[in-house]
Amino acid sequence: MSQKINRRKFLQTSAALAAASVAAPGSHASEMDQAIKAPAIGSNLSSPASLPAKKGPRVVIVGAGWSGLTMAKYLKKFASDFDVVLLDKREQFVSCPISNAWIANQVNLEFLTHSYVDAAKNNGYIFISATAIDLDRAGKTLYTTEGAIAYDYLVMAPGIDYDYARIGVEDPEVEQQLRMHYPAGFNSASEVMAIKHKIENFNGGTLLMTVPTGNYRCMAAPYERACMAAAMMKQRGVKGKILLLDGNNDIRIKSEGFRRAFSEYYADIIEYESSAGITDILLEDHEIETEFDNYQFDDAVIYPPIRASRVLENFGLADPASPQKEAAIDPYKYHLLDDEHVYVTGDSRSQPFSKSGNTAHSEAKYVAEVIVAHARGEEIAWRSPQTMCFSGVKTDPLESMSIIAFYKFNEHEKSFAFDRVHLMEKWSERSGQAGLAWAEGMFRDMFYS
Ligand SMILES: Cc1cc2nc3c(=O)[nH]c(=O)nc-3n(C[C@H](O)[C@H](O)[C@H](O)COP(=O)(O)OP(=O)(O)OC[C@H]3O[C@@H](n4cnc5c(N)ncnc54)[C@H](O)[C@@H]3O)c2cc1C
């Protein structure tokens, strides 16, 4: 009883705090450390990377995810004279979108996996498999594990990292244990594969799943994953439950649809708790502590809050005042406030857009145009990115809900907010098929000409 009263009070307070905490994009600019770093690496890595001589303005893109792949393709499309170099620390692309459907065997791994070599060959740019390790903005040089690359424009599209410190995990040993035993599955195919194995081998008891606070990657995906895992448990006749602990005071998106799916299909499997932000994790006891309760679990998928990829901070680009350690960029043109030759896009951007693949894809086409216009001394009008997200709730056949939305700057709130939202919370097989067709279209666009 007393717990319920506490929880309600907490919901009211946190809603008020959330409303008060909307900040203008780039509003921390004046506090930003604008110093330009000198490279601090060994001389062998300072020698030039093996690349053909550039024939036009060179754009180097760090990160061949949804943002970087789209950017590389459309830069070449809009300006064939540009010399575009895309690099990624990974050897091949495995999609995060649709990976929940893969977990539940609705698509195979081949559907998600694509070749960077094909993408570069088909679209006329250079791909190198390398890790960006340092940046000299004064000398316009990026240092990578394959050598130094001089640029005219640099696009940072490195995605996200997890921020375990925001759930009180400061000990690197504990963080490693969490990454290994209870991976979040929101940043690499390896993690998602570990989760797939976990769910396939789960034979009963409590499977804990968590939803972080903040602007985390893919708002709907943790709820979708709970549905997909529950569908698998149902199919295998596993006697157990999924405890879905949400740090937020309600389901963040498609809330009516997910609530209905939880009660219509998975009432005996999914137990959903809102306002259950993690305050401590007792690994040896298999226990998680939240502000109101402690919960025991047998296995877990723990999704901590996220931040912009660490490489932004390592390069001195992160705004120290930004809670998710994003860079201070022009909210309309995406370049650093103090450097019109360095851009930040995709999930590491600072605008509060949905961190989703479709957002990154539509935004990258626009930013490619911005960069080409800048090189030609022109300007183009701002275009909103488009968020489009399908969420599976039922399998065999896959049935999904969807949302499509744009953004508009709200002068009163001094931030961007959803605009022209088309929300379909009634799931269907047709929408399930549309989601797969959407992904196929995206892969075709990023990997073929
Ligand atoms: C389970 C799940 C479901 C999702 N469902 C959807 C959906 O239905 N619809 C949707 O639109 N979105 C969805 N998303 C979100 C989508 O995956 C991301 O928003 C999208 O990947 C962001 O693209 P990005 O290019 O910014 O980052 P990423 O795709 O993460 O790409 C960043 C790249 O940068 C590389 N990199 C990082 N640091 C370096 C470095 N130092 N040197 C070289 N390379 C580096 C990384 O290897 C990576 O390949 C989902 C995500 C998950 C996890």
Q: Which of 221, 198, 215 is nearest to 163 (CA)?
A: 215
Instruction: Indicate the domain borders of the chain.
Output: 29-159+309-375, 166-306
Burial class (CB in 10 A: 0-12, 13-18, 19+), 224: buried
Ligand 1 centre to CA of 346 (Å) is 8
Tell me what pLDDT residue 14 has: 41
Q: Which CATH architecture has domain 29-159+309-375?
A: 3-Layer(bba) Sandwich (3.50)
Ligand 1 centre to CA of 235 (Å) is 30
CA distance 137 to 430: 49
* Phi then psi dihedrals of residue 185, to 5 deg: 75, 35
Ligand 1 centre to CA of 155 (Å) is 15
Q: Are 34 and 336 in contact (CB under 8 A)?
A: no
Pocket test residue of 128, 142, 218 for ligand 1, highest count of atoms within 8 A of CB: 218
Per-residue pLDDT of the chain (449 residues; tens, 9 = 90+): 233 333 433 344 444 433 333 333 333 333 333 333 445 555 567 899 999 999 999 999 999 999 999 999 999 999 999 999 999 999 999 999 999 999 999 999 999 999 999 999 999 999 999 999 999 999 999 999 999 999 999 999 999 999 999 999 999 999 999 999 999 999 999 999 999 999 999 999 999 999 999 999 999 999 999 999 999 999 999 999 999 999 999 999 999 999 999 999 999 999 999 999 999 999 999 999 999 999 999 999 999 999 999 999 999 999 999 999 999 999 999 999 999 999 999 999 999 999 999 999 999 999 999 999 999 999 999 999 999 999 999 999 999 999 999 999 999 988 999 999 999 999 999 999 999 999 999 999 999 99
**Relative to the CA of 355, which ligand 1 atom is closest?**
19
Which residue lies with its CA nearest to atom 5 of ligand 1? Answer: 97
Q: Are 129 and 91 in contact (CB under 8 A)?
A: yes
**H/E stretch holding 405:** strand 399-410
CB of 245 sitting under 6 A from ligand 1: no
**Strand locations in 48-175 (E):** 58-62, 83-88, 92-94, 113-115, 126-129, 132-136, 141-144, 147-150, 153-156, 160-162
Which residue lies with its CA nearest to atom 50 of ligand 1? Answer: 97
Q: Supply the DSSP symbol for 217.
A: B
Which residue lies with its CA nearest to atom 3 of ligand 1? Answer: 97
Is cis: bond before 397, omega within 30 of 0? yes
Tell me what pLDDT residue 304 has: 98
Tell me what pLDDT residue 426 has: 96
Q: Are 20 and 313 in contact (CB under 8 A)?
A: no
Pocket test residue of 61, 70, 96, 312 for ligand 1, highest count of atoms within 8 A of CB: 96
- What angle, 0 to 180 degrees and rounded to 10, lies between the N-to-C axes of helices 429-447 and 66-78? 50
Three-class secondary structure of residue 39 per DSSP: coil
Which residue lies with its CA nearest to atom 53 of ligand 1? Answer: 186
ipTM of the complex: 0.99
Which residue lies with its CA nearest to atom 45 of ligand 1? Answer: 63
> What is the CATH code of the structural domain delimited by 166-306?
3.50.50.60
Which residue lies with its CA nearest to atom 28 of ligand 1? Answer: 65
- What is the CB neighbour count within 10 angstroms for residue 425? 18
Tell me what pLDDT residue 42 has: 56
Three-class secondary structure of residue 92 per DSSP: strand
Which residue lies with its CA nearest to atom 15 of ligand 1? Answer: 356
CB of 349 sitting under 6 A from ligand 1: no
CB of 97 sitting under 6 A from ligand 1: yes
Pocket test residue of 41, 60, 89 for ligand 1, highest count of atoms within 8 A of CB: 89
Which residue lies with its CA nearest to atom 37 of ligand 1? Answer: 158
Residue tagged 């409590």 (tokens):
206
CB of 400 sitting under 6 A from ligand 1: no
Q: Are 121 and 268 in contact (CB under 8 A)?
A: no
CB of 99 sitting under 6 A from ligand 1: yes
Which residue lies with its CA nearest to atom 27 of ligand 1? Answer: 159
Which residue lies with its CA nearest to atom 21 of ligand 1? Answer: 357
Which residue lies with its CA nearest to atom 20 of ligand 1? Answer: 357
**Relative to the CA of 388, which ligand 1 atom is closest?**
11
CB of 253 sitting under 6 A from ligand 1: no
Three-class secondary structure of residue 200 per DSSP: helix
Residue tagged 């998975």 (tokens):
266
What torsion do the CA atoms of 318, 319, 325, 331 make, to the nearest 10 degrees? -90
Q: Are 117 and 126 in contact (CB under 8 A)?
A: no
Does 166-306 match 29-159+309-375 at the fold level?
yes
Tell me what pLDDT residue 35 has: 36
Q: Which of 214, 257, 261 is nearest to 242 (CA)?
A: 261
CB of 217 sitting under 6 A from ligand 1: yes
